[in-house]
Amino acid sequence: MGKMIKTRKRVVVAMSGGVDSSVAAALLKERNFEVIGITMHIWEHSKNNDAKRVANKLEIPYHELDLRDIFKDRVISNFCEEYKEGRTPNPCIRCNKYIKFDALAKKAKELNADFIATGHYARIQRTESRGQRAEGRYVLKKGIDAKKDQSYFLYVLTQEQLKYTLMPLGDITKERVRKIAEEKNLHVANRPESQEICFIPDNKYGEFVKKRIPEEIKPGPIINKEGRVIGEHRGIIFYTVGQRRGMGIADKNPLYVIAIDKKHNAIIAGKEEELYTDELIAGNVNFINTGKLEHPIKVEAKIRYLHQPSQATVIPLNEENKVKVKFDSPQRAVTPGQAVVFYNEEEVIGGGTIE
């Protein structure tokens, strides 16, 4: 007899124990994939039995993967470093890049899987080949549930990663996902949304960073745009551009953080209108479809996850992987360290880190 031919496609599903990844696994099993569930332990408190219970209920094999060291190295260290430099990082994007779509993909390869899958609300579509291109390209699109769309966090993905990734929730709403979980009697059907960053359950970013690098946290001056000292801050890690609370300054106008000067350990405060700017520089850019930007393009750009996209022009710079983004109208609180993501209607063109 010849060797057995694998007829069903094998997929490794990242299972967090939440309703989204649980339903993603259930839907793929329904579509006749050979599904393997994997929980990635990335943080001290990330041990959870919900994913295991769901895997048992769905009767699929289940593994646990200890990624705490790589998470600490790639995500936590960077998070602390960025705050120390006066920037406001987005750890979910780095986690996608180095953990979910890299470390998990390596494990999937070991398990001889054809795909990895996640519970993200986004869509991956293959375009048909044209002209000289033998193979089609993969495009990343917003999820159809506008309130839940997570494409903003996925601009770092490459053609190679998109080719081997499935996102079964991209075409359905959150409401429908909860319904499917109920129909399948999954105990996580009504589990509440997790809002905060997974490794900071109380949302106190400053305290988290201070605990890890206490020697770096020093009080310093709060100054106005003219350079006059108007107060004292307790350490730049506790502030982000656009912030109003925690300034402790009595002034006839509400004051906001308009910039952070790491070199002089200073916070620059100003009025609301001083928060607006119509251009930014972004580094570490990734263009999903083209790899590289050769000439200026018109896009809709988002400067934070819950931001309305705004019309802008992206201009390539001479420096490697850097672009200038010029907005048609000024934007409020453009924050270094956050991601700027470029869209053409539903499609994610790419993005980068605001410098």
* Active-site annotation, residues: 95, 198
Name the β-bridge partners of 300: 311, 343
The DSSP code for 214 is G
CA distances in angstroms from 47 to 7, 17, 66, 182, listed in the order given: 34, 10, 10, 24
What element of type H or E holds 224? Answer: none
Sign of CA dihedral 248, 253, 257, 260: negative
Q: Annotate 32-54 with DSSP letters as a single string.
A: T-EEEEEEEE-STT---SHHHHH
For residues 128 and 116, give the distance between their C-alpha atoms in angstroms, rounded to a whole number: 22
For residues 302 and 206, give the distance between their C-alpha atoms in angstroms, rounded to a whole number: 25
Q: Which of 336, 337, 289, 285 is nearest to 314 (CA)?
A: 285
Asked if residue 210 lies in contact with residue 235, where contact means CB atoms within 8 angstroms, the answer is: yes
Q: How many CB atoms are closer than 10 A to CB 99?
A: 20
Contacts 24+ apart (CB under 8 A), 43-52: 43/68, 43/71, 43/198, 43/199, 44/68, 45/201, 46/198, 48/16, 48/17, 49/17, 50/17, 50/18, 50/22, 50/187, 50/188, 50/191, 51/15, 51/16, 51/17, 51/21, 51/22
For residues 43 and 222, give the distance between their C-alpha atoms in angstroms, rounded to a whole number: 35
What backbone phi and psi angles, to 5 degrees, belong to 166?
A: -120, 140
Asked if residue 55 lies in contact with residue 62, where contact means CB atoms within 8 angstroms, the answer is: yes
